[in-house]
Amino acid sequence: MTTARTSDLWWKSAIVYCLDVETFLDWDGDGTGDLIGLTERIDYLAGIGISCLWLMPFQPSPNRDDGYDITDYYGVDPRLGSLGDFVAMIRTAKDRGMRVIIDLVVNHTSDRHPWFRAARSSRTSPFRDWYVWSDDIPEEPKAEVVFPDAEDSIWAWDEKAGQYYLHHFYSHQPDLNIANPKVREELARIVGFWLELGVDGFRVDAVPFLLETGGIAGNVEIDPHDFLRDLRSFMARRRGDVMMLGEVNLPHKDLQLFFGGPDGDEVQLLFNFILMQSIYLSLARQDARPLAKALRETVRKTDDQQYANFLRNHDELTLDKLTDAQRQEVFDAFGPEPDMQLFGRGLRRRLPSMLDGDEQRIRMAYSLLFSLPGTPVLFYGEEIGMGENLAIEGRLSVRSPMQWTDEKNGGFSSAPPSRLRRPVVEGRFGPLAVNAAAQRRDPDSLLTWMERLIRRRRETPELAWGAWHVLESDVVGVFAHRCDWEGRSVVAVHNLGADPCIVRVELGDVPEGATLDDLLDERGALDEIDGAALELKLGGYGYRWFRIGAADQRTPP
């Protein structure tokens, strides 16, 4: 048994929890969450079994893209606290056994960053080449506008500079020029700074855009992947166990490049956007095949690579990699109103409301997420089943305040509701019905169930480390897969359909006389296996996890 290895490549079996400090807990009563508030809730997170926090940007920012537009990479926005509060928070998280990663948003700065102010002021400014300029709008690379509601080009004219500048995202987010060695040096310095303060890694924002320099007039030809490679080895020199989690929403065939190809020397973790989108198609159709196909296409080529799996994140639920017809199926099932949709490619809802509050179906979806090979990533509030607030504009609808209690402002803040950073959810998914305090005391709540699920997941390294296979079954709505690691095997079976069924799952190789240990059923029921197939009764949206083989003192209890 090599459980010891799992602490070495810790990100492979982490349970990641993403939160935004400003919407988590407001300690000083000014209407905005803060680092002291987060520190006060570290024990809550540790109690759920979270092993790694991912903090969305908390640096000084004019907040025109919710902090993804930074004006100082070496500070904390004063609304959220101080660097001192940050270090106290990290120290507390570590004491409770949690690692902390932060967003690294360096594809672009805010247009109010001193670097950009200097760059636009004159052609001879030492910062001019920190950004990407052009006299005309270049024909190549093809303009791929990320926010079509607000922008129609990735080039914007700057009166002061007398040139166009590149911005893949909003025009107030000018792209940094990573072909400039000075920029690369500065980015390493930023990374080094936060490592000294104790962070354990970075969620690297918008990686394909960050790396895109090719074809831009005036740029030195570099292999942009060298930049990621250099950053990885820089981090490894500073601290051996640092992890990068890349945001790369591309087809599987393109992902290997970002892991670093056969050498695996770039990012260690990549979000599995394709698997996520297939899950939604499978849920909408109640047909396991799209998910099975996506999992078959998910490959891991080196030992330290891992995928990060998620059902929701802080952005719109992007369905951009589905065909138009497939996307429409998901829209019809989970977000039929135009107001629920965004950019023609996504939904601005949270999972429980998309599943119409069906608790059995919600649990099945999370059981599926936690059983899939990869590192599960939760977005704050998912553990209690929060919904969105469609009254909040655009993607921000899912970034409403965390619901702690049934009191004023859901216990998030003591400020008058009109002063809150963002309004709380109202109605069916609002704090009166959905809050952490009530669920904490209820043995049958989603939160209590989720805690048990996370505990089980942490005790099941096969799922994080094992080789995976999709298993054949004879019911179209049933998804079954198996993970093998160190002579142990775990099988998970999920009924994506609303109807109960009797399903036959082909298990593959099974040792003679092996039994099945039910990992989720608290009674630990053992079933005999008949040959290499398993016949199971599943309720509508039913789910089971099994470990194959005789339970002995070597397997977790």
Residues lying near ligand GLC in the complex (CB under 6 A): 65, 68, 105, 169, 205-206, 247, 314-315
DSSP H/E element including 230:
helix 224-238
Q: What is the DSSP string of 382-443?
A: GGGT----TTS-GGGGG-PPP--SSSGGGGS-SS-GGGSSSPPP-GGGSTTTS-HHHHHT-T
Question: What CA–CA distance (Å, rounded) separates 478 from 503?
Answer: 8
Q: What is the DSSP string of 244-311?
A: EEE-----HHHHHHHHTGGGT-S-SEEE-HHHHHHHHHHHHHT-SHHHHHHHHH----STT-EEEE-S
Q: Which residues pair with 544 in a beta bridge?
A: 493
Question: What CA–CA distance (Å, rounded) separates 347 from 366?
Answer: 19
Residue closer to ligand GLC (CB basis): 85 or 103: 103
Active site residue 383: no
Active site residue 185: no
Q: Which of the following is catalytic: 26, 151, 200, 205?
A: 205
| Helix and strand counts by DSSP (H, E) for the chain | 17, 22
Q: Nearest residue by C-beta to ligand GLC?
A: 68
Residue closer to ligand GLC (CB basis): 151 or 205: 205
* SS3 (DSSP) at 82: coil
Shortest Å distance, C-beta 312 to ligand GLC: 12
Residue closer to ligand GLC (CB basis): 65 or 462: 65
307 Cβ neighbours under 8 A, 6+ residues apart: 269, 270, 271, 272, 275, 298, 300, 373, 374, 375
Residues in the chain: 557
Cβ-contact 353, 317 below 8 angstroms: no
Q: Which of the following is catalytic: 66, 103, 111, 247?
A: 247
Cβ-contact 365, 357 below 8 angstroms: no
Residue closer to ligand GLC (CB basis): 16 or 490: 16
Shortest Å distance, C-beta 297 to ligand GLC: 23
Residue closer to ligand GLC (CB basis): 86 or 310: 310
Shortest Å distance, C-beta 451 to ligand GLC: 28
Residue closer to ligand GLC (CB basis): 316 or 517: 316
The candidate with the shortest Cα–Cα distance to 482, out of 496, 469, 466, is: 469
The candidate with the shortest Cα–Cα distance to 149, out of 390, 341, 399, 422, is: 341
Task: Please give the positions annotated as active site.
Answer: 205, 247
